[in-house]
Amino acid sequence: MSIDFIRRAARIALTDVCDMLLDRRCSGCGGSAPRDGEICSACDALVDRTGVALCLRCLHGDAVTPEVARGCPSHGSARLLLAGPRFEPPLDRLIHAFKYEGVSALAPWVASLLPEPPDLRGSVGREYVLVPVALHPARRAWRGYDQALLLAHEASVRWGVPVVEALVRVRDHPPQARLDPERRRTNVKGAFRVAARTLIEGRPCLLLDDVATTGSTLLEAAEALEQAGASWVLALSAAHGGQAP
């Protein structure tokens, strides 16, 4: 028996013991999690990877096409959202774990649901900046991380677009999850300011959040960026619609 073989066997046995002691579970179904991930293959297979292009004001839209600027019948094409799958089981449980149960290790998987903006591959893509929707500092301190910022770092590596933390949440407010759409809109009014105009002035911004339920938070953040001189804002979310559990 070679030393290498013994080492490998010892490493596998140690990982098994660690998994057993830590009782690693899939956040989607509670079944065993694979050694190299936080989500089991059955849950992963249940999540549809088709992105959608939606109007940010009313979340009307359909499958992503090269002509995302086609626009919404009610609101034109000024503000668009490229979103990952619908917020429904098992994705709702997974995102809940990512956001509220401290499972920050789900970030790469959740970020893999973000649809890639269509013209990033061209030279124009280099001018983009990725702007995460900011948590209020108090909420970020309490949670220990900012989930949109984690997603932005993952997307940044994948797309080669820099992350710019341009937004500051100036007002903490009750969590949006339990509010009706009308209350959500008033709830986020004036919630953001831009840290410094020079961060985004004249640049197209990819504004990023984990879930767009009604789009109201992203819309408010998009307006703050545009008022501070962003040339264009495209909102991105890993999931859309539904109600938080």
SS3 204: strand
Q: From the CB of 75, what's the least distance to Zn ion, in Å?
A: 3
Q: Which residues contact 195 (CB under 8 A, 6 or more apart)?
A: 165, 166, 167, 168
- CB closer to Zn ion out of 81 and 151: 81
Select from 49-57, 126-134, 179-187, 216-224 the region that touches Zn ion (CB under 5 A).
49-57
Q: Which residues contact 98 (CB under 8 A, 6 or more apart)?
A: 27, 104, 106, 107, 110, 147, 210
Determine, following the binding rule CB under 5 A, whether residue 55 of this chain makes contact with Zn ion: yes
Cβ atoms of residues 140 and 169 within 8 Å = no
- CB closer to Zn ion out of 51 and 90: 90
| Strand 232-240 relative to strand 80-83, pairing | parallel
Which tokens hold the place of 63?
Answer: 């499958």
Determine, following the binding rule CB under 5 A, whether residue 78 of this chain makes contact with Zn ion: no
How many chain residues bind Zn ion (CB under 5 A)? 13
Distance CA 244, CA 46 (A): 18
Determine, following the binding rule CB under 5 A, whether residue 26 of this chain makes contact with Zn ion: yes
Which tokens hold the place of 172?
Answer: 């903490």
Q: Which amino acid is at 171?
A: R
Q: From the CB of 44, what's the least distance to Zn ion, in Å?
A: 8
Distance CA 212, CA 240 (A): 5
Of 24, 25, 29, 71, the residue at the interface with Zn ion (CB under 5 A) is 29
- CB closer to Zn ion out of 90 and 115: 90
Select from 48-56, 118-126, 149-157, 181-189 the region that touches Zn ion (CB under 5 A).
48-56
Residue 90 preceded by cis peptide, ω within 30:
yes
Of 25, 75, 139, 153, the residue at the interface with Zn ion (CB under 5 A) is 75
Please provide the distance, in angstroms rounded to a whole number, between the alpha carbons at the two ends of the chain.
53
Select from 30-38, 107-115, 169-177, 222-230 the region that touches Zn ion (CB under 5 A).
30-38
Determine, following the binding rule CB under 5 A, whether residue 211 of this chain makes contact with Zn ion: no
Q: From the CB of 81, what's the least distance to Zn ion, in Å?
A: 10
Determine, following the binding rule CB under 5 A, whether residue 43 of this chain makes contact with Zn ion: yes
Which tokens hold the place of 143?
Answer: 């949670």
Q: From the CB of 12, what's the least distance to Zn ion, in Å?
A: 23
Q: From the CB of 235, what's the least distance to Zn ion, in Å?
A: 13
Q: What residue ranges bind Zn ion (CB under 5 A)?
A: 26, 28-29, 31, 40, 43, 55, 57-58, 60, 72, 74-75
